[in-house]
Amino acid sequence: MSKYNVCLVPGTIQCVKNYKSYNGLDIWINDHNEIPINTKCFIGHSLGANHILNLNVGNDYKFIFINPLIKRRCFLLHFVNWIRFLIFEGFEIRKAAPVKYWLHTFKQILLLLEVDVLEQMKKIPKENIIIIRGKHDDYFCDKKNVEILKVNNFKIIEVEAGHDWNEHVARAVEEIIQN
């Protein structure tokens, strides 16, 4: 599969350009509800997976979800986890959407936290979904979420990463796309 057939939706407050060489939807800057016409594979990082599932695009695509938020939690708990993530894992501010879009970002976060990721994923054939999880993601796709995924028979690939995208995640994504 070509990279031109991939549509990436970035994690919270991040821009597509941070993910190098993928086309995608900058949902933290603008509303995006239309997918590129040549899309065969969706990549959703963190809340980006929620956005993809909220689009109800159908089941005939390949889905790669990186550290998805499986277990539904209230905004306050997610906010506390996000602060923990910032303190312990870190986040390069250059990756963030410009400040002028943060109100839009906040609205998007509230909307996307309403998506029941697990229930939406159950509607898709399991062979069309691959989960990539950072072994050190203790904030969002933690061990409890992994157990939920395993109980529901989803394919999980664990890589040397935290919650954020890194070279190990990128390599795993490339291998999946090439197969």
- Residue-wise pLDDT tens digits, 125-172: 999 999 999 999 999 999 999 999 999 999 999 999 999 999 999 999
What value does the mean pLDDT of the chain take?
Answer: 92
Q: Which domains does the chain have, with CATH numbers?
A: 3-178 (3.40.50.1820)
Q: What is the mean pLDDT of residues 117-122?
A: 96
Task: Band the pLDDT of 21: cuts 50, 70, 90.
Answer: confident
Q: Rounded to whole angstroms, how far apart are CA atoms 131 and 116?
A: 16
The answer on pLDDT for 107 being more than 90 is yes
pTM for the model: 0.94
Q: Rounded to whole angstroms, how far apart are CA atoms 127 and 12?
A: 26
Residues 44-62 have pLDDT tens digits of 999 999 999 999 788 889 9
Q: Which residues contact 114 (CB under 8 A, 6 or more apart)?
A: none
Among the listed residues 172, 146, 148, the one whose alpha carbon sits nearest the alpha carbon of residue 161: 172
